[in-house]
Amino acid sequence: MNHAFPCGTLPLDFVGTLRARRNAAPMEKLATPELLDDWFVESGMLDLAPVANEADLTIARELREAIYDLVAARLEDRPLPAEAVAEVNLQASGLPVTLRLGPDGTTRTGSVSQGLAALARETVEILGGDEGALLRECTRPECTQVYLDRSRGHRREWCAMRTCGNRVKAAAYRARQHSVNS
Ligand SMILES: [Zn+2]
């Protein structure tokens, strides 16, 4: 797997393909069209790679950044930026992913723009619906991953315990040991 899906919803996993956003050099996980193909297949959104090209990659990153701008505005209680709203609405108007029933079950196929349309529509549902209130940013400062906190009591602190949660806990443990020993 080239990509991770910890966020509980695909549009936010997609936003997470630009990692460590506030670092001087964020990590770009969608560096090539092939990595965009992998994202769609690994996410389960499409069964076949959509065979992305460079233009698709540019449009995909535009949608990703528009989703991030909307989520960031929501987290900071600012009005939603009009340009990002227009971008998400435009891409949400695209054709849906094609579903086919066959002897082995369902097959999902489509172009990059069909996949992006699905992500844009899900974004509209999150930001326009009740789940917008569940948006959080991971509390490990370098991470910057955003996710939906669907946990009971809404006390989820990290995008994923396996990565950030354990790192924060290990750092806290080391800090405690250090203060005991010094
Ligand atoms: Zn995290």
Domains and CATH numbers, the chain: 10-135 (1.10.3300.10)
Residue with tokens 């990290």, as numbered in its chain: 158
> What tokens were used for 95?
């054709």
What's the 113 CA to ligand 1 centre distance in angstroms? 28
Residue 111 one-letter amino acid: S
What's the 157 CA to ligand 1 centre distance in angstroms? 9
The 10s digit of each residue's pLDDT in 127-157 is: 999 999 999 999 998 999 999 999 889 899 9
The model's pTM is 0.92
The 10s digit of each residue's pLDDT in 103-125 is: 989 999 999 999 999 999 999 99
Nearest to 65 by CA among 76, 53, 77, 73: 73
**Beta strand segments in 26-180, E:** 27-28, 98-102, 105-109, 135-137, 146-148
What's the 147 CA to ligand 1 centre distance in angstroms? 9
